[in-house]
Amino acid sequence: MTIPAYPLTWPDGWGRLKSFQRKRATFTRNKRELTISDAVTRVREELGRMSIRDDDLVVSTNLELRMDGWPKSGQREPADPGAAVYWRDKAKNTRCMAIDRYDRVADNLAAIAATLDAMRAIERHGGAEILNRAFTGFTAIEHEVKTQWHETLQVAAHASTNDVRLSYRRLRSAFHPDNAMSSGDADRFIQVQDAWVTFCKERGIND
């Protein structure tokens, strides 16, 4: 799949929560907070039970990646802790599930894993067709973004990759919620991140 694991690629048409609407989760492992590794393992195990291989799976977050392509533990929590998981089913349809309900990436990934487990329970109780219809609702469809990436990133559509990258970094810093100088803007920060992902897809950049 061409969907980038970093930064977060949020599925088009899915709503987003404001930062103040997010809350602390209660997911734990051995009575301690989940690490990113713990949460990714849960997602992989749940999809593995659906016969989804790692090669057909992308875990997309705003966390930098390990050498093997999975999100790296031990990082500072990003301003946007949302998580999205994309996979190809047996029929080669691309499915996705995304959650940003909680204030930690690990907890949003754990919530995705828990949701997958709950949906598999439908199949275990004889509702295979219901499950298929449910997952059909999670089909990943790429739509044109309402605002063009170059408008969000404040550059010309034909701007060089270097100019776009510089503008992206400037805006990302300016709107970062932890920016004390400007008070930040979580919504604009997310828009800038999404615009950068769209730009990279359009230009074929793996960044």
Average per-residue pLDDT for the chain = 85
User: CA 21, CA 4: separation in Å to the nearest integer?
Assistant: 26
User: CA 52, CA 9: separation in Å to the nearest integer?
Assistant: 20
For residue 117, how many C-alpha atoms fall within 13 Å in the half-sphere facing its CB? Answer: 11
Q: Which one is predicted more confidently, 120 or 71?
A: 71
Helix, strand, coil % (nearest 5) of the chain?
Answer: 40, 10, 45
Residue partners of 169: CB distance under 8 A and separation at least 6: none
| Residue 171 · residue 194 · CB < 8 Å | no
Report domain extents, the chain: 19-136, 149-203
Q: Is the pLDDT of residue 143 over 80?
A: no
- Give the pLDDT confidence score for residue 129 in this predicted structure: 60
Helix (H, G, I), strand (E, B) or coil at 200: helix
- Per the listing, tokens 């919530």 go with 111
Helix (H, G, I), strand (E, B) or coil at 130: helix
Q: How confident is the model over 137-142, as a mean pLDDT?
A: 53
Q: How confident is the model over 71-82, as a mean pLDDT?
A: 94
Q: Quote the pTM value.
A: 0.67
Fold of 149-203: Helix Hairpins (1.10.287)
For residue 203, how many C-alpha atoms fall within 13 Å in the half-sphere facing its CB? Answer: 19
Q: What is the pLDDT of residues 103-126, one digit of tens each?
A: 999 999 999 999 999 888 766 666
User: CA 144, CA 117: separation in Å to the nearest integer?
Assistant: 32
Helix (H, G, I), strand (E, B) or coil at 27: coil
Distance of CA 151 to the CA centre of its chain: 23
pLDDT-derived band at 180, boundaries 50, 70, 90: low
Helix (H, G, I), strand (E, B) or coil at 40: helix
